[in-house]
A and B are shown apart, each in its own frame.
Chain A
Amino acid sequence: MNTDKDAMLAGKARELLLEDIGHIDARVRSRLNQSRQAAVAAIGAPVRSWLKWTLLPATGAVCAAALVMVFMLHPAPGPATKPLDTPNALDVLDLVTDDDALGLVEGGDQSFYEWAAAQSDAGGAAGGGA
């Protein structure tokens, strides 16, 4: 029953659609005719081979430009920089302002060096006497 109704509906719809097709105007029919002629003339023609050859160089150029941009924006890290042997400015300042260091430079501990030398001499004499 339902199938019969469905078949009737489909039949009625087909009838209406075919009638509607009969009313398609001349402009549309003409364009369809032109499209058909173009399609028949294009039998076996390569599918957009011209597009492939046109796009190939352009695609290569775009890829190259993109690579250059990547290298420019993110340059590869260079060799590790060797630390300079020059003293740090803070170390120099520390040396200059350090009282002990200045004393050493100016000979403020002269007595210490004299005592150390005397001890060394005394030790050497004692050792030699024994």
Chain B
Amino acid sequence: MGAFVTLATYNTPATLDGDDTLLKDTSRAPARATALNQFLAGIELKAYRIAQASLRHEDDALDAVQDAMLQLARAYSQRPEAEWKPLFYRILENRIRDVQRRRTVRGRVMALLPFRRGDDDGEEIDPVAQAPSNEPSPVANLEMGEAMQALDAALTTLPLRQRQAFMLRTLEGMDVAQTAQAMNCSEGSVKTHYFRALHALRQRLGEFAP
């Protein structure tokens, strides 16, 4: 009982004497949470679409977006809200690269494993056939118009950096400075990637290009 009294009297003056950092943080926390919730709600679908364009796999794209959200909340939620978008997309870009690296390593390891080389009939497993399909499902085909299919296929052929520059500028509507911050490169590089992406898309879209 005495310990409780001592602890209470020890803590109280520190809070009242102007050391109100803790109070500020606790009072700001719900506002931060609300702001972060709104921010993430506003970008989550676009972020998923950007991850999907690079990874071509629904669950991998969802995992990448989830990791990026968690990392932003844990490490950068106290940063100014204006910085959240470029930070989030930089984290997402890193996650996308991680997944792609893991796929490459997994593919090499699986190719080395003897029991993966053939099935019981002695037929070799085609690693390309085992990879996630680039083709949209039949349902998705119905939903997507021909133009969207052509755009999707053309986006697949772009190098990663060009695709990111294009998606961030076009879909997310980020300016050159924000895109450069998100891609961790110079503004000049963003302009170059974006320019090349547009011209590559124009060539590949053919009749669908305006």
Contact = CB atoms under 8 A, between A and B. Distances in A.
Interface of A: 5-6, 8-10, 12-14, 16-21, 23-24, 28-29, 31-33, 35-36, 38-40, 42-47
Nearest to A48: B74
A106 B151 CA distance: 113
Interface stretch (B35-43, B99-107, B177-185): B35-43
A36 B198 contact: no
A24 B45 contact: yes
Given A13-B151, A38-B66, A44-B77, 17 more contacts: A5-B210, A9-B202, A9-B205, A9-B210, A18-B171, A20-B49, A20-B152, A21-B46, A39-B40, A39-B66, A40-B33, A40-B40, A40-B73, A42-B73, A44-B29, A44-B74, A45-B74
Given A19-B148, A20-B144, A47-B74, A9 B48 contact: no
A32 B65 contact: yes
Contacts of A40: 33, 36-37, 40, 73
Residues of B contacting A: mostly: helix
* 6 interchain residue pairs of minimum CB distance: A39-B69, A35-B66, A39-B73, A8-B210, A32-B44, A36-B40
Interface residues on B, range: 35 or more
25 contacts: A9-B210, A10-B170, A16-B145, A17-B170, A20-B148, A21-B45, A21-B49, A23-B140, A23-B143, A28-B62, A32-B45, A32-B62, A32-B65, A35-B62, A35-B69, A35-B70, A36-B41, A36-B44, A36-B69, A39-B66, A39-B70, A40-B33, A40-B40, A44-B74, A44-B78
Nearest to B201: A9
B8 interface: no
Interface of B: 29, 32-33, 36-37, 40-41, 44-46, 48-49, 58, 62, 65-66, 69-75, 77-78, 140, 143-145, 147-148, 151-152, 166-167, 169-171, 173, 195, 198, 201-202, 205, 209-210
Contacts of A43: 29, 32-33, 36, 73-74, 77
Contacts of B62: 28, 31-32, 35
Contacts of A38: 66, 69-70
